[in-house]
């Protein structure tokens, strides 16, 4: 069993599709083992996305990520990291496969509804960023 971190981003909570995102994960047999809603400050968003600190979109990404509430969750299952990435679709919604969350709901590369850890290493940073081991069922 593998664990990954997913986030319904501020555009997703604004569009009222928290349940839609969770449903797509659950329908593929993945389990939500921790869940909460919160709002990040821009400094917290910068720390979460520290790996992108040199990118030209770092300021605008972290400003967007702190503009409203987000829903963060730990998802568990076989190949959870790859499966969540598949269900999300490509970063750029124009390149995302049909039927993926980003293809169906994202409006731009930046406003792309959902986050998912891209590797075991990322998950190992991102899960404890939001949850203590006691929060995860």
Residue 118 interacts with Mg ion (CB under 5 A): yes or no: yes
Dist CA 96 CA 86 (whole Å): 9
Per CB under 6 A, which region of 23-31, 37-45, 73-81, 108-116 contacts ligand DAT? 108-116
Name every residue whose Cβ is closer than 8 Å to that of residue 106 and which is 6 or more positions away in sequence. 11, 89, 93, 96, 112, 113
Footprint on residues 3-42 left by ligand DAT (CB under 6 A): none
Residue 115 interacts with ligand DAT (CB under 6 A): yes or no: yes
111 an active-site residue?
no
**Cα Rg, the chain, nearest whole Å:** 14
Dist CA 118 CA 128 (whole Å): 15
Q: List residues binding ligand DAT (CB under 6 A).
A: 52, 57, 61, 91, 109-110, 112, 115, 118
Tell me which residues are annotated as active site.
115
Q: List residues binding Mg ion (CB under 5 A).
A: 118
């Amino acid at each position: 069993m593998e664990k990954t971190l997913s986030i319904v981003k501020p555009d997703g909570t604004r569009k009222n599709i928290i349940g839609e995102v969770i449903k797509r994960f659950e329908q593929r047999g993945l389990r939500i083992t921790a869940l909460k809603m919160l709002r990040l400050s821009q400094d917290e968003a910068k720390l979460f996305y520290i790996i992108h600190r040199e990118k030209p979109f770092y300021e605008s990404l972290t400003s967007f990520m702190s503009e409203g509430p987000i829903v963060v969750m730990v998802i568990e299952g076989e190949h959870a990291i790859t499966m969540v990435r598949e269900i999300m679709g490509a970063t750029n919604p124009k390149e995302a496969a049909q039927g993926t969350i980003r293809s169906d709901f994202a409006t731009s590369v930046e406003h792309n509804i959902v986050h998912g850890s891209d590797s075991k290493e990322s998950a190992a940073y991102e899960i404890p960023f939001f949850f203590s081991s006691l929060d995860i069922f």
